[in-house]
Chains A and B, each alone.
Chain A
Amino acid sequence: MRLEHIVFHNLRRRKGRAIFLVVGLLIGVATVVTLLSLTDALGRRAQHEMENFGANIIITPRSDELTLNYGGVQLGGVNLVSREIEQASLVNIDDIPNRRNVATIGPKVLGAVEVDGQRVMMMGVDPRAEFKLKRWWSIAGRKIEKGRELLVGDAVVKRFDLTMGDTLQIDGHDYTVVGLLAKTGSQDDQLLITPLPVAQSVLGKEGRLSMVEIAALCHDCPVDDMVNQLQTALPGTAVQAVQQVVKTRMHALGQFRLFAWGVAVTVVIIGALLVFVTMMGAISERTREIGIFRAIGYRRRHVLHLVLVEAAVVSALGGVLGYLTGVSATLAALPLLEGGNASWQWNPGLAIVSVVAAILVGLIASLQPALRASRLEPSEALRAL
């Protein structure tokens, strides 16, 4: 027989109190797990949406000249005698500390070309990156891949009365229309979109870029940090975050996270008080028993051990069951949030922290009752011999 034997027998005998403590901690841990899991799931959903939304950081050449405007963003020097971004410098992005947060890099070159005597804006893009960034584009036909292929904006289609398979002559070369871009309501409607190397060649801008759009996953990093890192990596450029999109999203998430933590802390305090009051009651109830232990030679630390092991066992059980309940509640709640699009992902860290935190709360809240029990003098505890 060891001291733990006494602990388990006592718990079995006083089932009601043990169940009360376990349920109290279970509710606390479940609430915390549910809130943190929901925050996590909604955060990941927001991150996913941000990827789908497209670029949230735009890099343009730094220029003091008058600029053209694309998509509400000032494009330094797309006009005439401008500085541009060296395409080779994009490799520097690989060295920034938050590289893992860079989801997509969309380089672009812009310039005017002449079609049937009319000037039209041509945009050269990396097709794979561009279609990731512009997931909302609706295309009749197919996406451009390589060579002299064109994806034509809606306004240009109407101006030149184009259909799929038509050929446009630009700078002495034939370009085939492989896709028609449905009206977007943005300046994309005015564009002839072609693969980047082709556009660079026809515009005489080999190895140069007019702008770079980046989709950054800023779920766990401040976008301002990303901007600063990119700015350092790409000197001579202007890096701007599409602040409204990112910051609004981050602010909302931050608010929810703050709320979740606020509730979590409150629940933990209530749980600790519950354990404290219950353990104090238990010690009063067991005064005589503790007196016997002390009379037959248990040291203070033995009594402390009895009380704290009991608290740890009950708290661990509350922690495990609370975690499982919290996960179940999260799975039940997620379909009701974000249109059922947010998904739960097992987070081993949260599982471990839940159980460890429950045990710590239980132990800390039981420390004072345990000390009180250990300080009981046998003669005080045993009024009558």
Chain B
Amino acid sequence: MSLICLDNVAKNYVNGADCVIALKELCLNVEEGTFLGVMGPSGSGKSTLLSVLGGLTGPSSGTVNIDGIDVYGLSLEKQADFRREYLGFIFQSHNLIPYLNALENVMLPLAVSKLSADEKRQRATNMLGRVGLPDRMFIFRNNSLAENRNAWLSQER
């Protein structure tokens, strides 16, 4: 079975009498280790697809299976756990928490875990090192866009 499996996924945005179809009868299988890019014109549903894949927006119909888990069959709280345990995001805008430094931003998902403070710090430090930001961990907002993305990329789980 594919790592990511979308079966007949549709997503409609309804606003009063207006209905915008963002995704229609979408089937997609992505194998583990695949690097996938999605291209298309503005309004073609790329963001909606990513949102659905990211466990952020439930589809209007169809199923989304990731690693054998029916993501939207989970309760909302379990969906949150799923996002924390399985997924990482790099947002278009960097979306770092501005009052936390780079290291703390990397540790954000760990704030709700039961790991010890030392372990959280160690894991976050290692991840920042892996994306080339070992010397920027106590910096707040002065990172470049790329550095901010790297910080997001290194977010620990």
Residues of chain A within 8 A (CB-CB) of B82 are: 297
Nearest B residue to A13 via CB reads B99
- Give, as a whole number of angstroms, the nearest-CB distance from B145 to chain A: 15
Q: Which residue of A is nearest B87, CB measured?
A: A297
Are A297 and B83 closer than 8 Å at their CB atoms?
A: yes
Q: A1-B120, A13-B99 are in contact. Are A302 and B112 (CB under 8 A)?
A: yes
Report the interface size for chain A: residues with CB under 8 A from the other chain: 28
B80:A297 contact, CB within 8 angstroms: yes
With a CB–CB cut-off of 8 A, which chain A residues contact B99? 9-10, 12-13
Bound complex: CA A266 to CA B45 (Å): 53
Check if A13 sits within 8 Å of B98, measured CB to CB.
yes
Closest A residue to B86 using CB positions = A297
Instruction: Tell me the dominant secondary structure on chain B's binding face.
Output: helix
Q: Which B residues touch A292, using CB under 8 A?
A: 95, 97, 108
Q: Is B77's CB under 8 angstroms from A299's CB?
A: yes
Which of B26-34, B46-54, B66-74 lies at the interface? B46-54
CA distance A299 to B100 in the complex (A): 20
Q: With a CB–CB cut-off of 8 A, which chain B residues contact A294?
A: 80
Known interface pairs A295-B54, A300-B76; A384-B112 also in contact (CB < 8 Å): no
Q: How far is the CB of B149 from chain A (nearest CB, A)?
A: 13
A53, B124: Cα distance in complex, Å: 75
Which residues of the partner chain B approach A297 to less than 8 Å between Cβ atoms?
A: 80-85, 87, 109, 112, 157
Q: Is B89 an interface residue (CB 8 A)?
A: yes
**Nearest chain B CB to A13 CB, angstrom units:** 4
Assembly CA distance A5 to B112 (angstroms): 11
Residues of B with C-beta under 8 A to A247: none
- A6 contacts across to B, CB distance below 8 A: 97, 100, 108, 111
Binding site for A on B (CB under 8 A): 47, 50-51, 54, 56-57, 76-77, 80-85, 87, 89, 91-93, 95, 97-100, 104, 107-112, 117, 120-121, 155, 157
